C-alpha cells in the first residue's frame, strides 16, 4: 500500500471574479521512503496540491476526491484527529523562511511547543535537548535555540523550519518551494541538506518546485502539473532524459545549466486563466506541435512504457 | 541610541509639549466670556468693586504679562498657583482628587481591555459565525455614543432595578469614617484595606461599578475592533499557517500566534487611548458626581477658575507623556525585534 494516495482530487476556489479550478482530477501516490517531485509553473496547482494534502486550503476552497495517508482519508477526518496527524505523521515546510516562524517566539519555544503539544516530550528540557541535537545535525548551532527568528539568516531559518518538520519523525514531509526565497548559494546548501535527510531519515517527501533541475537532483519520481492537470508522471531519470509531453520538454529546456551548450528557451505564452481553461488539451495554445485534435479533444492520461502521459501525439 | 538615551530624550521633550499645551489652554480659557468674579457675582456688581477684585487676582494686568507670570510660576517655581476665590493651592486640590481619577481610570481600562480583548479574540476565533458581525455593531455603537448619555442609560437601566448607587464615591457614613482613619494615602481602597475596613472597600467598589462600566464600555469598542483586526491579520500570516501545519491547537494558534503578535498594534492603540480615557473621565465623573480631577476641571471651567483648569491640564499632559514613555519601553518586552 502506498504511503500517500491522492485520488481524483479536484479543488475549486470561489472568488469574487469567478470560480477558479486549481486542480482537475489529479491522482498520484508516494511510496514509503520515496521523494515525489511535483513540478509546474506558477498557477499550475502544485502548491494547492500540497496544501490540499495537509488540508490547509483556505475556506473558500471546495475539495472533491480523497487523500489517503496510510489508508486514512484526510479529507473526511474530524478536525481534532487531523490536528494530531499534522506535524506527527505529515508535516510541511513552506516557501518563505522569513515569515514562517513566529517573530515573537524563540526558536527553542517553537520546538518545545510542538513536542509538548504532541506528547513527544515530557519536559521543556527534554524537548530542547532533542531540538538542539537535531538542529546541530541540520547545521544550526545549538545556541540558536535561544534566539528569535529575526536573529537568524534566511538559510538558518529554513533549516529550523526543516527541523520543525522532521523532529516528530513524520512519514511524509511536504516541501513547498522551500528554496525559492533563498539565494543560489543557500539554495545549494538546502538542497544538499534535503538529499542528506532523504538518505538518513528515509522520509517520504512531496517535493514541490518550479525548477526541473532540483527535481532531477532530489526526486525519485516526478509529476508534471499543467493548469491543474497531470501532464506526465514517471521515473525522474526517464522523464528528464526522454520527456514525452511537450510541456515537460519545454520545462526542461527552460532550466539554465552552467557550462551547458544547449540554448535556453523560455516557454512562450502564459499559463491559462483558470477561471476559463482552454478546451481540449490545456497546453495546446502554447504547444509547438498542437494539432486540430488537441484543440478539441482532451487527452486522457495513459500509460506508456511505465510512465503516464496526457498527450494525443505521444500516447 | 540606547534605551536610556531614548527615555531621556523623550523626557527632555516633555516641557516643550507642556508649554504648547499650557499656551493653548491659557488663551482658550480667556477667550471664554466672563471671568471668575463675574461668574460668581453675576454682571450687575458695581464697576469699582469689580475693578478692585480683579486687581486682587491680578486680572487687570495685560494678558501677555499674566501669561509670562504664569509660565514663570509653573516652569521656574514649579508652582501651579492658587484657586481664584478661596486661594487654595491648585497642586493640593489636584493631589487630593487625583487618586479618585486614577482608580476610575484603572477600573475603566480593565473593563475596556477585558471586554475588548475577549470580543476581539472570539471574533477572530469564530470568524465564520455571527459573532464578528455582532462585535462590529457593538463597537460602532459604544464608540459613537456620548459618554454621559451612556452613563444615564446605565443609571436608568442598571441602577434603578438593582439599587446600585449612582452618585458619589462612598455612602455619607463611610465618607465620615474614612476621614477618621489613621492610615491615609488618598486611595480609598488602600486606606480602607490597610485599616481593616472591608465594609468601606466594598462600599467604594459598589460606587465605582457604574462609572467604571460607563467609561469602560465606551472605550471597549475601539479595543474590540483593534484586537479583532490585528489578531485576524496575524492569523493569515505564514507563521500561523505553519503552526496549523504542525498540529498546534487552534486556541493556542489564536493566542500565541495571533494575539501575541497583535499585542504590538494593540499596545500602540492603548497608549493613544489614555487621552480619550482622561477626557472620558471628565464626563463620567460629572455624570456620576465622582470627585476626581475630571469633576474639578468641569467645575473649574464653569467658574472660569483659570489656575485649576491649567493645573489639571498640566497634570493630564504629564500623565499622557509618562504613559507614552511606558508604552515605548513596553515595546521592547512585547516585540523582540524592537531595540532602541
| pLDDT surpassing 80 at residue A111 | yes
Looking at chain A, the whole-number percentage of residues with pLDDT higher than 90 is 71
**Interface touch A87/B128, C-beta < 8 Å:** no
- Strands across the sheet containing A18-30: A18-30, A4-15, A61-69, A72-73
B232 in contact with A, Cβ within 8 Å:
no
Strand, helix or coil for residue B328? helix
What integer best gives the mean pLDDT of chain A? Answer: 91
**Interface touch B244/A86, C-beta < 8 Å:** yes
Strand, helix or coil for residue A181? coil
Residue A27: is it exposed, middle or buried by C-beta count within 10 angstroms (0-12/13-18/19+)?
middle
Strand, helix or coil for residue A176? strand
| pLDDT surpassing 80 at residue A99 | yes
- Rounded to 5°, the CA angle A39-A41-A46 comes to 55
Give the pLDDT mean for A32-41. Answer: 93
**Interface touch A87/B334, C-beta < 8 Å:** no
CA nearest neighbour of A286 among A271, A264, A265, A276: A271
Which is more confidently placed, A31 or A272? A31
Q: What is the pLDDT of residue A260?
A: 59
Q: Chain B contacts of A165, Cβ < 8 Å?
A: 246
Q: Which residues of chain B register pLDDT less than 70?
A: 1
Which residue in chain A has the smallest CA separation from B331? Answer: A104
The model's pTM is: 0.82
Model confidence at A129, in pLDDT bands (50, 70, 90)?
A: very high
Q: What is the pLDDT of residue A276?
A: 84
**Nearest beta carbon to residue B239 from set A59, A86, A102:** A102
Phi, psi of B175 (to 5 degrees): -55, -45
Strand, helix or coil for residue B35? coil
Strand, helix or coil for residue A8? strand
| pLDDT surpassing 80 at residue A314 | no
Q: Which residues contact B272 (CB under 8 A, 6 or more apart)?
A: none
Q: What is the pLDDT of residue A259?
A: 62
Q: What is the pLDDT of residue A273?
A: 83
Cα distances (angstroms) measured from residue B174 to each of B79, B188, B212: 33, 10, 20
Q: What is the pLDDT of residue B6?
A: 82
A101 in contact with B, Cβ within 8 Å:
yes
Give the pLDDT mean for A259-269. Answer: 71
Q: What is the pLDDT of residue A278?
A: 87
What is the sign, positive or negative, of the torsion defined by CA atoms of A72, A77, A81, A87? positive
B244 in contact with A, Cβ within 8 Å:
yes
The alpha carbon of residue B246 is apart from the nearest alpha carbon of chain A, in Å, by 4
**Interface touch A105/B237, C-beta < 8 Å:** no
Determine the Cα–Cα distance for residues A121 and A60; give it in Å rounded to an integer: 36
Which residue in chain A has the smallest CA separation from B259? Answer: A104
Q: What stretches of A2-138 adopt beta strand conformation (E)?
A: 4-15, 18-30, 35-39, 61-69, 72-73, 90-93
CA nearest neighbour of A163 among A180, A141, A181: A141
Q: Chain A contacts of B241, Cβ < 8 Å?
A: 56, 94, 100
Which residue in chain A has the smallest CA separation from B239? Answer: A100
Chain B 108-137, residues with CB within 8 Å of chain A CB atoms: 128
Which is more confidently placed, B44 or A260? B44
Q: What is the pLDDT of residue A258?
A: 62
Question: Which ranges of chain A would DSSP assign to H, the alpha helix?
Answer: 46-53, 79-85, 107-117, 124-137, 154-166, 184-201, 212-218, 236-241, 246-253, 292-296
> Contact B301/B84 with Cβ under 8 angstroms?
no
| pLDDT surpassing 70 at residue A262 | no
Amino acid at each position: 500500500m502506498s504511503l500517500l494516495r491522492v485520488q481524483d482530487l479536484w479543488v475549486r476556489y470561489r472568488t469574487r471574479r469567478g470560480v477558479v479550478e486549481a486542480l482537475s482530477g489529479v491522482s498520484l501516490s508516494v511510496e514509503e521512503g520515496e521523494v515525489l517531485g511535483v513540478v509546474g509553473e506558477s498557477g499550475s496547482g502544485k502548491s494547492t496540491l500540497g496544501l490540499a494534502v495537509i488540508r490547509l486550503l483556505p475556506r473558500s476552497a471546495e475539495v472533491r476526491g480523497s487523500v489517503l495517508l496510510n489508508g486514512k482519508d484526510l479529507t473526511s477526518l474530524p478536525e481534532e484527529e487531523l490536528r494530531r496527524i499534522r506535524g506527527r505523521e505529515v508535516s510541511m515546510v513552506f516557501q518563505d523562511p522569513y515569515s514562517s516562524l513566529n517573530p515573537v517566539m524563540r526558536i527553542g519555544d517553537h520546538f518545545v511547543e510542538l513536542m509538548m503539544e504532541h506528547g513527544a516530550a515530557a519536559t521543556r528540557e527534554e524537548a530542547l535537548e532533542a531540538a538542539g541535537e537535531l538542529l546541530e545535525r541540520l547545521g544550526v548551532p545549538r545556541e540558536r535555540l535561544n534566539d528569535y527568528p529575526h536573529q537568524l539568516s534566511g538559510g538558518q531559518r529554513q533549516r529550523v523550519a526543516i527541523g520543525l518538520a522532521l523532529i516528530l519523525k513524520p512519514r511524509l514531509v511536504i516541501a513547498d518551494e522551500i528554496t525559492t526565497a533563498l539565494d543560489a548559494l543557500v539554495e545549494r546548501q538546502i538542497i544538499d541538506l534535503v538529499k542528506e535527510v532523504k538518505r538518513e531519515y528515509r522520509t517520504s517527501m512531496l517535493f514541490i518546485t518550479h525548477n526541473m533541475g532540483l527535481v532531477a537532483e532530489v526526486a525519485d519520481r516526478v509529476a508534471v502539473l499543467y493548469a491543474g492537470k497531470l501532464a506526465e508522471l514517471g521515473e525522474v531519470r526517464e522523464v528528464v532524459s526522454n520527456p514525452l509531453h511537450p510541456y515537460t520538454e519545454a520545462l526542461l529546456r527552460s532550466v539554465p545549466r552552467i557550462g551547458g551548450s544547449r540554448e535556453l528557451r523560455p516557454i512562450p505564452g502564459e499559463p491559462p486563466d483558470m477561471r476559463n481553461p482552454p478546451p481540449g488539451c490545456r497546453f495546446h495554445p502554447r504547444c509547438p506541435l498542437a494539432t486540430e485534435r488537441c484543440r478539441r479533444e482532451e487527452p486522457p492520461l495513459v500509460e506508456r512504457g511505465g510512465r503516464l502521459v496526457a498527450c494525443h501525439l505521444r500516447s | 541610541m540606547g534605551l536610556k538615551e531614548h527615555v531621556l530624550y523623550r523626557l527632555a521633550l516633555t516641557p516643550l509639549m507642556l508649554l504648547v499645551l499650557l499656551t493653548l489652554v491659557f488663551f482658550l480659557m480667556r477667550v471664554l466670556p466672563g471671568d471668575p468674579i463675574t461668574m460668581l457675582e453675576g454682571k450687575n456688581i458695581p464697576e469699582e468693586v469689580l475693578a478692585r477684585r480683579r486687581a486682587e487676582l491680578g486680572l487687570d494686568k495685560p494678558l501677555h504679562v499674566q501669561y509670562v507670570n504664569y509660565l514663570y510660576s509653573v516652569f521656574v517655581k514649579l508652582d501651579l498657583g492658587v484657586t481664584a476665590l478661596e486661594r487654595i493651592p491648585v497642586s493640593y486640590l489636584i493631589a487630593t482628587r487625583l487618586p479618585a481619577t486614577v482608580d476610575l481610570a484603572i477600573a475603566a481600562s480593565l473593563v475596556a481591555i477585558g471586554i475588548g480583548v475577549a470580543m476581539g479574540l472570539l471574533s477572530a476565533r469564530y470568524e465564520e459565525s455571527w459573532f464578528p458581525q455582532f462585535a462590529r455593531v457593538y463597537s460602532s455603537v459604544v464608540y459613537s455614543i456620548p459618554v454621559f448619555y451612556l452613563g444615564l442609560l446605565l443609571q436608568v437601566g442598571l441602577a434603578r432595578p438593582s439599587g446600585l448607587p449612582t452618585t458619589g464615591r462612598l455612602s455619607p457614613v463611610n465618607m465620615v469614617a474614612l476621614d477618621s482613619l489613621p492610615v491615609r494615602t488618598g486611595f480609598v481602597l488602600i486606606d480602607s484595606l490597610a485599616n481593616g475596613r472591608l465594609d468601606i472597600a466594598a462600599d467604594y467598589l459598589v460606587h465605582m461599578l457604574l462609572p467604571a462600566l460607563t467609561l469602560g464600555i465606551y472605550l471597549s469598542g475601539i479595543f474590540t475592533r483593534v484586537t479583532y483586526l490585528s489578531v485576524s491579520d496575524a492569523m493569515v500570516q505564514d507563521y500561523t499557517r505553519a503552526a496549523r501545519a504542525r498540529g498546534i491547537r487552534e486556541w493556542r494558534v489564536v493566542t500565541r500566534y495571533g494575539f501575541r503578535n497583535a499585542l504590538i498594534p494593540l499596545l500602540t492603540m492603548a497608549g493613544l487611548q489614555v487621552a480619550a480615557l482622561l477626557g472620558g473621565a471628565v464626563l463620567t465623573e460629572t455624570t456620576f458626581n465622582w470627585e476626581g480631577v475630571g469633576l474639578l476641571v468641569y467645575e473649574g471651567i464653569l467658574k472660569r477658575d483659570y489656575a485649576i483648569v491649567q493645573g489639571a491640564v498640566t497634570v493630564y499632559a504629564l500623565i499622557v507623556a509618562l504613559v507614552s514613555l511606558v508604552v515605548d519601553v513596553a515595546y521592547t518586552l512585547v516585540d523582540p525585534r524592537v531595540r532602541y
